[in-house]
Amino acid sequence: MTLEGISSLTFRSFKHWMRYDEVKFNDGEDEEQPIMKDNMHPYVDLFAFADRYDIVALRNNICDVVLSHYAKSRPGTFPTNEEIAYLWTRVHKQSGLSRLVVELVAWSWQVSEADLNKGESAGLPPDMILPLFIARATTGHRRPAVGNRCRYHEHKDGIKAACEGGAYREWSKTALTDQ
């Protein structure tokens, strides 16, 4: 079986997630890469894979990993404009990962009114500016928090209650098989 457009890293990461119920990346060497060591491209690619094959539990797990990493970061640290542009071209704009990244950027966004008046978007995708303003207005310029992870998840019947109760890991594999 051939999976068109799927890298070996993405597929190995998917197999690891299926076996161990955790999102990790391995570049083919023995050592696993630390989370977000270089960039978030592998997470975006795995999310796009999960989206392509409608694997809700994997998409939710990826949002958790990304949120856990960036929730500890300083404003402006991550994600970079290049990573944001990469995500913005590969993931649905209404996805949990897109919402999370928009809120992360809105929390740390530094752009002058003069730049916006000139039509500059501080290196961000132009169609992301409106969602940034909306996120900033609705989140009150707060950092996305791990306690709010459910905000970025997709839920099927009965799953949201488990997520809100802190038992997310219990249902992730069953959610995949029950789809």
Question: What's the pLDDT score for residue 61?
Answer: 92
Higher pLDDT, 45 or 167: 45
Specify the higher pLDDT residue, 120 or 51: 51
- Chain segment 11-61, per-residue pLDDT in tens: 988 998 999 888 887 655 545 544 455 578 889 999 999 999 999 999 999
What's the confidence (pLDDT) of residue 62? Answer: 93
Provide the pLDDT confidence category of residue 179 given band limits of 50, 70 and 90.
very low
pLDDT, one tens digit per residue, over 63-111 is 988 888 777 666 556 677 888 889 999 999 989 999 988 888 887 776 6
| Residue 58 domain flag | yes
Q: Range of 164's domain?
A: 9-177
3-state secondary structure of 23: coil
Choose among 142, 48, 157, 55: nearest CA to 98: 48
Cα pseudo-dihedral 161, 93, 70, 143, rounded to 10: -80
Asked, for residue 1, whether it belongs to a domain, the answer is: no
Q: What is the pLDDT of residue 126?
A: 84
| 142-160: pLDDT as tens digits | 777 777 778 888 877 655 5
Question: What is the per-residue pLDDT for 28?
Answer: 53
Q: Is residue 16 part of a domain?
A: yes
Nearest to 15 by CA among 38, 36, 46: 46
Q: Per the structure, how many domains does the chain have?
A: 1
Q: What's the pLDDT band for 122 if we cut at 50, 70, 90?
A: low
With cut-offs at 50, 70 and 90, classify the pLDDT of residue 165: very low
Distance (Å, rounded) from C-alpha 134 to C-alpha 68? Answer: 23
Does the pTM surpass 0.85? The reply is no
Report d(CA 102, CA 114) in Å as an integer. Answer: 21
Query: How far is 106 from 98, CA to CA, in rounded Å?
Result: 12
As a whole number, mean pLDDT of residues 104-123 equals 67
pLDDT of 30: 45
SS3 144: coil
